Structure 1
């Protein structure tokens, strides 16, 4: 591979990291409260609103069922109005955020539902308000599962960001298409694949390590 391509690979990697980071943050800001509400709004729960829970659940499921490449194309008019263009890195962030938010919401809902209901009843008996139960019981107890869920979401976003390159989203996917495929440079495609694998491994390892630090049930190795 030509040395001239190394700066291009580096720039594409930085663009991918930017897309994934921004979309992960924005999707978490949307998905976290949505996931908490979905986990606590069925009949008889903390924020009982079964009709709204069902409606939001249907919207989340419908969004999750769309293949990402179709979602990109379907929301192009919305993306153009929001960021002024339907191609490029910032445009890709819009579609990545909308793809990841419902996924994160379901992961957080699942993590919160795994919290022992006895802890919720104990907090209620002590007079805690629903919001206090969410902040001081549900989220802290579900934190390892939430972190693992967010890790899975970021890994998926890395793959989605590469797919966004097929429609001019920039980053490693775009580089692989323009150089590896269109210019018949398999070494560039190989480099892109290796970088994506390394990024996924780093994110997965970091997420598992952080989750283990928050897991109260995990054994701690003590120095002797």
Structure 2
């Protein structure tokens, strides 16, 4: 991760609450990006990210839209999702999706999802026990002021939005933004699937990074 970006992201009081870097639970899996309608090989997609400190086994986990039925779409194929790892569920063919977004084979993609998202819909993530892990209810036509993630993906305005089910807390991706967004190879859709740049570092890593930054500052002053 780019240290300069991380430092700027953290220093913005408007973006992060003081609780953002509290120790996180190992099962912190969140919806971190979505596009309800893409073009051609892009298709619609949803990104889930493990922001915790331990790998999570997705065996038995599932997705559904506004019918809210656990088990509708199996996510078991993701297997173990490591800390900081993002995975993708898409209506497109998995290989085509990777190709059009120039993603490596290391990015887990489940393709050919037929439980499609609408302009106003829900994204529901369930664990192996059928418990709701995260939900995002969205729709610019039903929630005035919220975005319409058509051909441009939606990203959280800040980390406090994750898990809050707040449609107003999401913003459009833009080329070169803090999330590393770019235009797909078809030169149509804009997004950043497969990675979530501002994943919180574990407390120990954050302390180490802070210490390194502090030492660098001392050296500059001495120079």
Length-normalised TM-score, structure 2: 0.23
Length-normalised TM-score, structure 1: 0.23
Larger radius of gyration: 1
- Give the number of the structure whose residues are more often helix, by fraction: 1
